[in-house]
């Protein structure tokens, strides 16, 4: 099973994030959009894990002391890949988020899990495989607060040949 840790959002927040996808689509973005149910913010990618490792990961999740109950989304960005780009919504500087991610990666390392060496760049993926030439700096993005629903251990699965993310376990962050 392929596992990762993420911040999740409630349905209303996901619908609000869809408005940015619609704005980008009308601005010329031609990539494959992230399905509404799959919108999340990755904290740490684990990869393939055994049942025993999954139980360790659940314990790590439940022992986290850091919280992050809200984010400010405020800009667009892209990671350039071979022939396309991944378009994302950026997060304003957030000490609680960075503390949570640092605590999580420290706990993962302590339990023998590999973590990514590159600098953590918090983002919400909106499109994959975009080959258009839309200049993201010209797309008007209004800063917006979004509530975080939970910190979750997620599993990547395929349902009807479509990628889906299933919550394995979660710790709720907001009461809204």
Contact by Cβ (8 Å): 100, 67: yes
- Report H helices in the chain: 11-26, 51-63, 95-110
Question: Do the Cβ atoms of 171 and 153 come closer than 8 Å?
Answer: no
Question: Quick one: 139 exposed, middle or buried, by C-beta within 10 A (0-12, 13-18, 19+)?
Answer: middle
Which three-class secondary structure state does DSSP give residue 132?
coil
Rg (CA), the chain: 16
Active site residues: 40, 123
């Amino acid at each position: 099973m392929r596992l990762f840790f993420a911040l999740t959002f409630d349905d209303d927040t996901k619908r609000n994030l869809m408005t940015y996808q619609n704005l980008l689509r009308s601005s010329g973005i031609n990539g494959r959009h992230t399905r509404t149910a799959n919108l999340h913010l990755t904290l740490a990618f684990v990869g393939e894990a055994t049942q025993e490792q999954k139980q360790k990961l659940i314990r790590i999740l439940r022992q986290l002391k850091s919280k992050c109950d809200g984010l400010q989304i405020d800009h667009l960005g892209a990671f350039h890949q071979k022939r396309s780009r991944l378009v994302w919504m950026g997060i304003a500087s957030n000490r609680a988020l960075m503390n949570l991610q640092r605590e999580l990666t420290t706990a993962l390392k302590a339990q023998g899990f590999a973590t990514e060496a590159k600098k953590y760049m918090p983002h919400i993926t909106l499109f994959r495989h975009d080959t258009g030439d839309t200049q993201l700096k010209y797309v008007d993005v209004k800063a917006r607060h979004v509530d975080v629903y939970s910190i979750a251990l997620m599993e990547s699965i395929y349902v009807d040949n479509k990628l889906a993310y299933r919550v394995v376990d979660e710790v709720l962050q907001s009461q809204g």
